[in-house]
Structure 1
Amino acid sequence: MAISRRTLLQMMFVGGGAAALAACGGGSSGSAPEQGGGGGDPVDPGPGEPSPPSPPPQPPARELPLKAGPLANIGPLVDSGVDGILIPEAFSLRLVATAGRQPVAGGLGYLWHWLPDGGAVFPVEDDGGWVYVSNSEFLPGGVGALRFAANGDLLDAYPILQNTRVNCAGGATPWGTWLSCEEIQDGKVYECDPRGTPRLAQSHPAMGLFKHEAAAVDMATSTVIMTEDEGDGRLYRFVSVGKVSAVNGREGLDLDNGTLQVLEVEGYPNGAYIEDLDVARHIQRVSWVDALSPEKPQSKVREDHQNSTGEGAPGTRFKGGEGIWIQYWPEGEQEQVSGFEHPLRAVVFFATKGDNRVWALDLDNELIEVVFDNEQLTVSGEAKFDDVDNLVVSPAGDVVVAEDGDEMRLMVMVPNQPARILLRIPGGGSELTGPAFTADGSRLYFSSQRASAGLTGLLPVGKTYELTVPEAFRMG
């Protein structure tokens, strides 16, 4: 008997927990059914004996078999001793950069940028250190970088992209570059070298002109998935024609030649919106449709198409696309999605702030569902989340979502269950941006985009922090 996680939880809370578990065999919608008997290999029938009946086909899963990571076990928050920020016990926090100031003594006059936004961490193989890159959602925009030693010491700070416009979020590539996205109507995607110089940065207009928010690369399908921060926005993918030498000399995807497409949820074409959460919370089939006039600003294309045809442009509407990240499972750990062809290899998580939802997209089976929403999955004793924004997946599989607005929390998303609070910045009036983990999960970087730097009274220009994660909360 297949049963969803939500149904199981409801049965348990009604008071029949033990009975519910017995009734469903302790499984879930994504669990493989137990085989009867004492295990071992099935016994072949003897000569003339009938073959045992084939097991009945499993019904299609209604939800993806997602699991929480170790950060789901964090406890209450305490004062970190840094700017009033609250963090769990045994974690530690330090300020690593303040906008308008030199992050490192003797840093050749480089000042950390204003309005720090999306970011990512890149390992440095030469010495075991790493680089944290951070966008500037300012005009002019750009990207700054902080270079750390293997022991965590801050060694250097420098720009890797300059003279662009309102760089919001972006995405790390598997070949070690940073895709920085402009959040304006004709915004482009720029590729930068975290250890390079601004002159190495390249723009890639073939990836679309729109209010880019964030990007995530899947090499297995030669695609880049991208969000659009518009109320009538779409979820895009750029399908590359093949591989080329990237700006850092490594093999990457050709980002100048390919096809721009938009996601369409079955039954919700041409700008339709999935209003009903009971529908959105369960698996829906999706497909990809070529974007109209990919060489033109997409918001204008949608407007012109509506005016000329009376119907919406291709693609399902996603309200205010924000952060995006891909979680991968290695072979041998890929759980089968019941009733569908492929095991769970890669899931794209992305946030939409217009309806405070977090979505999960199974790339290989082409399935989508809402895995967090405020109507059902509020945190006990906490206000509802306001404007979910950047997000990141930790090396141990935790999905961490940043929040704008008055509360300013980092939320650990527990699929289809109440979330946990990892961090809170009191006072509001800013945005929590750029969450990114080091490769071993020991450090998490983030910014308060408009925190007062104390330069001119209460000038809100931004601060960037490092949260140290104890080993017990970073093991998968």
Structure 2
Amino acid sequence: MSETGSTAGSATDSGSPATRRQVLARSGALGIGIAFTGALSELFAGTAAAQGLGHGGYGPLVPDPDGLLDLPEGFRYRVLSREGDRLRSGEGPVPSNHDGMAAFAGRHGRVHLVRNHENRATGRVPVPAVEGLTYDPAGKGGCTALTLDSRGRVLSERVAVAGTAVNCAGGPTPWGTWLTCEETEDKAGTNGYAKDHGFVFEVDGADPRRTGAVPLTAMGRFQHEAIAVDPKRGVVYETEDAFQRPFGLFYRFLPDKPLGGTGSLRAGGRLQAMRVPGVPDLSSIRETGARFDGVEWVDVPDPQAVHTPIRHQDFGPKGITHAQKLEGCYWGGRSVYFVSSFARSAEGSAGDHYGQIWRYDPDRRRLTLVVVFGPDTDVQLPGESPDNICLAPGGGLMVCEDGGGAQHVYGVTRRGEVYALARNRQNTGTPEDPEWGEFAGVAFSPDGRTMYVNCYDPGTTFAVTGPWRR
């Protein structure tokens, strides 16, 4: 375990090539707050972020002398875990491809982190197979769980579920478990798998054997990305990150036993897909504030996709609504928010954008486009491909960047001001042609004092502390 603190110095990219956003920013193309204050305020309505930061974050990023993570002055990080190190449980090495993650409160001030590993059939460092926690011995993905003491020190690190595939994102439940999502549709016999994949699994970070390795099949078999749970109704919303046309759908799962702890989702339920009347492709909508009432939910004909992937299935003469790169998903206030990371007409979308955030209000059956990212709107908005997102307890939103060039965790205040909170310095390329792994799994400790975030490659889990409420 290592720890370092930021020191005063330059905030330049230390030799990295300038991104399009950096070049345009230097030319003076600013004005985020003016263009997006109204739309961004919706992101934080009715949440703890209502008293958000108002003055552009925490200052410039300071180069890390250890070459791992650049942070603003006054912030510090601790490396909790790195791929290839030994799991403290002795079950094997820490797996690679750190992705979605959540933090849960434990007893005596402890924190339980549950972390995804997006390993495919050829995963570099697979999740070790553990008896009673392994779904398919041929699967290389899964989750690991870390327990931290009240001072943030790692007490344990172990396998939480194994034998799954391409565990990308997921989401927490109101009863304190993690829903990990397989971003694949591979069936038994494909890529050496012994079982069908494309499911959601429930994981208890405090006691993984309580949940085991049981697929929640009623929630559908498709290229899952993320989920969010309506804490009042128990409805689970799900995003699909499909890579080819027709693109993914936005789903809701109506459980037969809406709430009540582990086992409630195993009781089955009904899977439906969202239909926005007159909008077959969300990428065709470009203006923030665009609103659609009367959203419909249509039963999925075959949730198990036995013969046909769900997005290819027949939803009747009115069709269904698709969107490219549906990724992050979270519940805030009385609404669910979900991200489309980008859309490209050259790849079959109805329009082009560099990221959208949508808000669905179930009480009004209303869908609203809250934010559009990218140079066609405002070059300072975070990243070309927003991915994992979470609400920050001190105010605002945290966004993991998954695009080209340097990779950041960005903050967005409720006034629409965007600031860089962290920059990955682990170069996986060469000095002449550098590459940096994306960030993923941003989450905050229950007391709001620590931000946890993963670097995907090389797999690294950081704990970041600092003057969050400044």
TM-score (norm 2): 0.73
Q: Counterparts of 1:76-95 in structure 2 under 5 Å?
A: 76-95=60-79
Query: Larger C-alpha radius of gyration, 1 or 2?
Result: 1
2:298 matched to which residue of 1?
289
Task: Provide closer, same or farther for how the CA distance between residues 198 and 424 of structure 1 changes in structure 2, counting only shifts above 3 A.
Answer: same
- Bigger RCO of structures 1 and 2 (CA < 8 A, at least 6 apart): 2
Q: Does 2:118 match 1:137?
A: yes
Shift of 1:370: 3.0
Q: Does the Cα contact within 8 Å between 1:170 and 1:180 map onto a contact in 2?
A: yes
Q: Counterparts of 1:336-347 in structure 2 under 5 Å?
A: 345-347=334-336
1:267 matched to which residue of 2?
278
Amino acid at match of 1:385: G
Q: Give deviations 1:87-136, integer Å, cap 9, x for gaps.
A: 112111121111111255xx435422111110000110x21110111111
2:437 matched to which residue of 1?
430
Q: Secondary structure at the match of 1:176?
A: coil
- Aligned CA-pair RMSD: 3.2
Task: Provide closer, same or farther for how the CA distance between residues 366 and 412 of structure 1 changes in structure 2, counting only shifts above 3 A.
Answer: farther
Which among 294, 312, 320 is matched to residue 303 of structure 1?
Answer: 312
Q: Does 2:385 match 1:404?
A: no
Amino acid at match of 1:73: G
Q: Counterparts of 1:292-331 in structure 2 under 5 Å?
A: 292-296=301-305, 300-303=309-312, 305=314, 313-314=319-320, 316-328=321-333
Q: Secondary structure at the match of 1:127?
A: helix
Distance (whole Å) between structure 2 residues aligned to residue 394 and residue 110 of structure 1: 34
2:125 matched to which residue of 1?
none
Distance (whole Å) between structure 1 residues aligned to residue 201 and residue 281 of structure 2: 30
Q: Secondary structure at the match of 1:219?
A: coil
Q: Secondary structure at the match of 2:218?
A: helix
Distance (whole Å) between structure 2 residues aligned to residue 395 and residue 444 of structure 1: 10
Amino acid at match of 2:374: N
Q: Secondary structure at the match of 1:302?
A: helix
2:192 matched to which residue of 1?
none
Task: Provide closer, same or farther for how the CA distance between residues 79 and 259 of structure 1 changes in structure 2, counting only shifts above 3 A.
Answer: same
Shift of 1:175: 0.5
Q: Which moved more, 1:290-299 or 1:361-370?
A: 290-299
Q: Does the Cα contact within 8 Å between 1:136 and 1:166 map onto a contact in 2?
A: yes
Task: Provide closer, same or farther for how the CA distance between residues 64 and 192 of structure 1 changes in structure 2, counting only shifts above 3 A.
Answer: closer
Q: Give deviations 1:49-96, integer Å, cap 9, x for gaps.
A: xxxxxxxxxxxxxx7774673385322111244434221121111211
Q: Secondary structure at the match of 2:311?
A: helix
Distance (whole Å) between structure 1 residues aligned to residue 282 and residue 90 of structure 2: 50
Q: Which moved more, 1:407-416 or 1:161-170?
A: 407-416
Q: Does the Cα contact within 8 Å between 2:33 and 2:415 map onto a contact in 1?
A: no
Q: Give deviations 1:174-213, integer Å, cap 9, x for gaps.
A: 1011101101015000011111235732210100110001
Distance (whole Å) between structure 2 residues aligned to residue 64 and residue 159 of structure 1: 35
1:9 matched to which residue of 2?
34
Q: Give deviations 1:284-335, integer Å, cap 9, x for gaps.
A: 22332222322316972433549xx8x7842x2121111111123xxxxxxx
1:53 matched to which residue of 2?
none
1:173 matched to which residue of 2?
173
Q: Does the Cα contact within 8 Å between 1:357 and 1:374 map onto a contact in 2?
A: no
Task: Provide closer, same or farther for how the CA distance between residues 153 and 377 of structure 1 changes in structure 2, counting only shifts above 3 A.
Answer: farther
Distance (whole Å) between structure 1 residues aligned to residue 219 and residue 327 of structure 2: 17
1:127 matched to which residue of 2?
108
1:440 matched to which residue of 2?
447
Q: Give deviations 1:137-164, integer Å, cap 9, x for gaps.
A: 0131010011100111111101110111
Task: Provide closer, same or farther for how the CA distance between residues 30 and 379 of structure 1 changes in structure 2, counting only shifts above 3 A.
Answer: closer
Q: Secondary structure at the match of 2:363?
A: coil
Which among 232, 242, 264 is matched to residue 230 of structure 1?
Answer: 242
Q: Counterparts of 1:42-441 in structure 2 under 5 Å?
A: 66=45, 69-70=52-53, 72-102=56-86, 104=88, 107-124=89-106, 126-139=107-120, 140-185=140-185, 186-198=197-209, 200-201=211-212, 202-231=214-243, 232-243=247-258, 246-247=261-262, 253-268=264-279, 271-278=280-287, 281-285=289-293, 286-296=295-305, 300-303=309-312, 305=314, 313-314=319-320, 316-328=321-333, 345-354=334-343, 355=353, 356-367=355-366, 368-375=368-375, 378=378, 380=380, 385-405=383-403, 406-414=405-413, 417-426=416-425, 427=427, 428-441=435-448
Task: Provide closer, same or farther for how the CA distance between residues 29 and 318 of structure 1 changes in structure 2, counting only shifts above 3 A.
Answer: closer
Task: Provide closer, same or farther for how the CA distance between residues 82 and 443 of structure 1 changes in structure 2, counting only shifts above 3 A.
Answer: farther
Task: Provide closer, same or farther for how the CA distance between residues 29 and 95 of structure 1 changes in structure 2, counting only shifts above 3 A.
Answer: closer
Distance (whole Å) between structure 2 residues aligned to residue 305 and residue 290 of structure 1: 11
Q: Give deviations 1:381-404, integer Å, cap 9, x for gaps.
A: x8x723221111223442211112
Unmatched runs of 5 consecutive residues or more in structure 1: 1-5, 14-26, 32-62, 329-344, 452-461
Q: Does the Cα contact within 8 Å between 1:209 and 1:298 map onto a contact in 2?
A: no
Distance (whole Å) between structure 2 residues aligned to residue 266 and residue 304 of structure 1: 18
Task: Provide closer, same or farther for how the CA distance between residues 91 and 297 of structure 1 changes in structure 2, counting only shifts above 3 A.
Answer: farther
TM-score (norm 1): 0.72
Distance (whole Å) between structure 1 residues aligned to residue 33 and residue 373 of structure 2: 19
Q: Does the Cα contact within 8 Å between 1:210 and 1:299 map onto a contact in 2?
A: no
Q: Does the Cα contact within 8 Å between 2:300 and 2:310 map onto a contact in 1?
A: no
Distance (whole Å) between structure 2 residues aligned to residue 290 and residue 364 of structure 1: 19
Distance (whole Å) between structure 2 residues aligned to residue 463 and residue 65 of structure 1: 29
Q: Does the Cα contact within 8 Å between 2:170 and 2:181 map onto a contact in 1?
A: yes
Task: Provide closer, same or farther for how the CA distance between residues 212 and 28 of structure 1 changes in structure 2, counting only shifts above 3 A.
Answer: closer
Shift of 1:168: 0.8
Amino acid at match of 1:225: Y
Amino acid at match of 2:444: F
Task: Provide closer, same or farther for how the CA distance between residues 28 and 322 of structure 1 changes in structure 2, counting only shifts above 3 A.
Answer: closer
Shift of 1:423: 1.1
Distance (whole Å) between structure 2 residues aligned to residue 449 and residue 238 of structure 1: 29
